[in-house]
Amino acid sequence: MIKKIVTNFTSLFTGEVIARACHFFAVIYIARIFGAAGFGAISFSLAIISYFIMLSNPGLGEFGVREISRSRDIKDIAETILSIRLAAASVLFVAVLVIAFLFKKTPTITYLMIFFGVTLFPYALSLEWVFRGVQEMRYNAYSRIINAFIYLGAVLLFVKDIQDILKVALITVLADLTSCAFYYINYRRKFGGIGLHVDLRRWGELLRLSLPIFASSAMIIFYFNFGTIALGIFKDEQSVGFYSAAAKIAFFIYAVSDLFVASVFPVMSKLYHESREKFAQFMRYCLKISMVLGIPVGIGGTVLGPKIIEIVYGPSYAQSGPLFQMMSWFAAINLAGFALSYSLVSCDRQDLYLKVVLYGCLFNIAFNLVGVPLMGYYAPSAALVLTEGIICVCSFFIVGKIARLPFLELSVRPFISAVVMGAILLALFKLNVFILLVIAAVSYFGVLFAIGGITRDELLRVKEAFAQA
């Protein structure tokens, strides 16, 4: 089991690091070429389209992963889910066209929304969730790398100034279509041909089962992007640009938790179905890893936030520094609790997961609506941190009823190690940021090992698992 998780995580981590790095360099390039206003226009348009993309996948991806991991009929599930998502994308693209022309903020944003809206189709047709379900995640890694190389290469070749802003959307469509084609070619090789399966009764059955997962995912995407939209409505595009610059880095860090979730979710689903005792043991193992990774991110981001912003975006984005200091705790809380919320779905508690996310989403909306007019871009930054904290705490208490999770025992040593790391960073703050990051990693893991937060046996087991992967 550990070998499979390590293999999948290694594949996803390698692919995601390469892909995220490419996309991140592209984002930095675009932010510098277009300035805060142009970068804000792209961020605002993508935030709007993200809601339509969310609606095109009504929880069916994660539902499909769970069912396939439990040895269900791959072909039937794939064809049914693909048909529903394609039908939804077609209807939603018409809605995008209508809203784009009604929402007359600027002509540039109108056309950006339309072009980004085309990505509904490759997203709906993607079979990435099938390969996650069968735990063949190297294909997901390959696809992400292909997508990222095409995107970065095309941006560097064809985007030269603000006049090329619409090309960014067209390049996104091209990269997504290529990635989608990659999945189809490999699905056909492994599982045979695939078609559409139009059975309204079957559609209704799957939608009913996946609805709580969809509603939860929809609200997460909604509150992730609501701060950007609130800033776009109540403030100006420059404010959106400063906030988005900090958020991009925080979400880049947050992506690590996505990799762990993708690696362990099929295993969690299978273990809960087979043995509650093994499930509980596995959850404790996941929580320890998440604490070790999450806590130093918050303390390190608080200390180094302004320096990281300056080295990434340049002095003109200095106002993003305090925002990233705040949002590093969003990434930290998410890393520290990555396994908690999705474990509710894996053990068929998606209804409870929906309630937890609903509470967090309502809080986020209220905080932004009140806070953005008063606090500007500080409000959505604080809202993300507090919302993630609410969801993490609620999930912990619910999962704790299924599997005893010794939170204090698993978090004290990582916290002590991170505090020592933070003190060392403050003492050496004038050094280059890259040197400081190396010092942070060495000091944190050195102290953690010295005080027993990580044992020699655990390191040997991880080493053996990587060697066999």
Give a yes or no: residue 294 inside a domain. Answer: no
Per-residue pLDDT at 466? 44
Give a yes or no: residue 417 inside a domain. Answer: no
In this structure, the dihedral spanned by the alpha carbons of residues 423, 302, 442 and 407, taken in order and rounded to 10 degrees, is 90
Contacts of 300 (CB under 8 A, 6+ apart): 328, 418, 421, 422, 425, 440, 444
Residue 2 pLDDT greater than 70, yes or no: no
Provide the domain count of the chain.
1
Name the more confident of 292 and 337: 292
The residue assigned the tokens 């941190």 is 385
CB 117 within 8 A of CB 100: yes
> Residue 303: what residue type?
V
Name the more confident of 183 and 65: 183
Give a yes or no: residue 340 inside a domain. Answer: no
Give a yes or no: residue 20 inside a domain. Answer: yes
pLDDT digits (tens, 9 = 90+) for 121-149: 888 888 887 887 777 777 888 888 888 89
Q: Which two tokens stand for residue 280?
A: 């509980």
Give a yes or no: residue 76 inside a domain. Answer: yes
Name the more confident of 343 and 31: 31
CB 79 within 8 A of CB 197: yes
How many C-beta neighbours within 10 Å does residue 87 have? 15
pLDDT digits (tens, 9 = 90+) for 243-262: 888 888 888 777 777 767 66
The residue assigned the tokens 């997961």 is 353
Give a yes or no: residue 167 inside a domain. Answer: yes
pTM for the full model?
0.66
Give a yes or no: residue 6 inside a domain. Answer: yes
**123 φ, ψ to 5°?**
-65, -45
How many angstroms separate the CA atoms of 56 and 121, rounded? 9
Highest mean pLDDT among 9-23, 191-205, 394-408, 425-439: 425-439
CB 447 within 8 A of CB 420: yes
Sign (positive/negative) of CA torsion 438, 440, 442, 443?
A: positive
User: What's the pLDDT band for 422 if we cut at 50, 70, 90?
Assistant: very high
CB 434 within 8 A of CB 304: no
Per-residue pLDDT at 469? 43
CB 87 within 8 A of CB 202: no
How many angstroms separate the CA atoms of 70 and 269, rounded? 8
Name the more confident of 16 and 167: 167
User: What's the pLDDT band for 468 if we cut at 50, 70, 90?
Assistant: very low
The mean of the pLDDT values for the chain is: 81
Structural domain boundaries, residue 124: 1-198
Give a yes or no: residue 31 inside a domain. Answer: yes
